[in-house]
């Protein structure tokens, strides 16, 4: 049976923080809103329940006032090492993709690898690459 290959993206960053600190930035709503979203977006609220089958929801607002809401469920949760969660925008709930965040210690810092799989099409890859790249830049700055 031919397996359909769905578009994905991978980003890797070295952060000046321990895996535990980076994990907390992904799982503590008060920290997540400080860096989540690219440069023209502010995360306004986050509800996170980082346990297997726990739900999360993040509401973001663009400079132009446009509201974006993403939500999903945690599939895998390994404290300070790995988070896997489903990802769906409120506007396209039928398009469910999957994000895997892996944290590896690197001296005093952490290598973060973000894999976003099962994206709908190349346009979704471009949009999410922009969003995640901007988010990673903010996360780097947060730990600078």
Residue 4 lies in a domain: no
- Considering its fold, how many domains does the chain have in total? 1
CA distance 19 to 41: 25
pLDDT in tens, 56-103: 999 999 999 999 999 999 999 999 999 999 999 999 999 999 999 999
DSSP secondary structure, 21-62, as one string: HHHHHHH-HHHHHHH-S-TTEEEEEEEE--STT-EEEEEEEE
- Domain-embedded: residue 31: yes
The count of residues in the chain is: 144
Residue 3 domain flag? no
Classify residue 1: in a domain, yes or no. no
pLDDT tens-place string over residues 125-140: 999 999 999 999 999 9
User: Looking at the domain assignment, is residue 118 inside a domain?
Assistant: yes
The string of pLDDT tens digits covering residues 14-64 is 999 999 999 999 999 999 999 999 999 999 999 999 999 999 999 999 999
- Residue 24's domain comprises 9-143
Q: What is the DSSP code (8-state) at residue 126?
A: H
64 belongs to a structural domain: yes
Domain CATH for 31: 3.30.530.20
Cβ(89)–Cβ(70) under 8 Å? yes
Within a domain: residue 2?
no
> What would the two tokens of residue 141 be?
């700055």
- Chain mean position to CA 51: 16
**pTM reported for the whole predicted model:** 0.95
């Amino acid at each position: 049976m031919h397996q359909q290959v769905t578009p994905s993206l991978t980003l890797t960053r070295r952060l000046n923080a321990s895996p535990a600190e980076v994990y907390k930035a992904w799982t503590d709503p008060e920290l997540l809103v400080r860096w989540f979203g690219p440069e023209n977006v502010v995360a306004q609220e986050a509800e996170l329940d980082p346990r297997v089958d726990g739900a999360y929801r993040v509401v973001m607002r663009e400079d132009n006032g446009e509201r974006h809401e993403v939500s999903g469920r945690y599939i895998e949760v390994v404290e300070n090492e790995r988070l896997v969660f489903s990802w769906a925008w409120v506007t396209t709930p039928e398009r469910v993709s999957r994000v895997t965040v892996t944290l590896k210690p690197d001296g005093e810092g952490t290598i973060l690898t973000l894999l976003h799989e099962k994206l709908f099409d190349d346009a979704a890859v471009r949009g999410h690459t922009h969003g995640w790249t901007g988010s990673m830049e903010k996360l780097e700055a947060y730990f600078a």
